[in-house]
Amino acid sequence: MTKTIALVAHDAMKDKLVEWARSKKQELKHFEIYATGTTGGRLIDDLSLDVKRLKSGPLGGDAQLGAMIAEARLGGLFFFIDPLSTMPHDVDVKSLVRLATLYDTPMAVNQSTATAVLNHLVGEEV
């Protein structure tokens, strides 16, 4: 069974996520990937990854991912959070992080943890 993961990034972190995903493209091909709107567009346009795009985070994409976590349909969350900017949809971001924590979903918030979580998930696939 293919494991499902989500790739999400705040605006100031999208370049870092794309850069990381580029370096891990071969590993990412083992997963069914979901992403919020703009992030998904970047991953498709820049890397030609097969990505299922959800709504933009502030327009419900974060909530869609939270629902996937609550329904045990998401095996990992990669959310490159901008720690220096206030987000108008901060409540949605906190809810998503809270659900990932509550349901023990592997989660990464930067390149270092993303690599560690991805390596863990790839190891589970073998």
**Residue 50 contacts by C-beta under 8 Å, 6 or more apart in sequence?**
29, 33
C-alpha to C-alpha distance for 101 and 107, rounded to whole angstroms: 8
Domain residues of the chain, as ranges? Answer: 4-125
Instruction: Render pLDDT for 19-73 as a digit per residue (tens, 0 to 9).
Output: 999 999 999 999 999 999 999 999 999 999 999 999 998 899 999 999 999 999 9
46 is an active site residue: no
Whole-number pLDDT of residue 124: 78
- The CATH class given to the 4-125 domain equals alpha beta
Residue of 62, 82, 92, 104 marked active site? 62
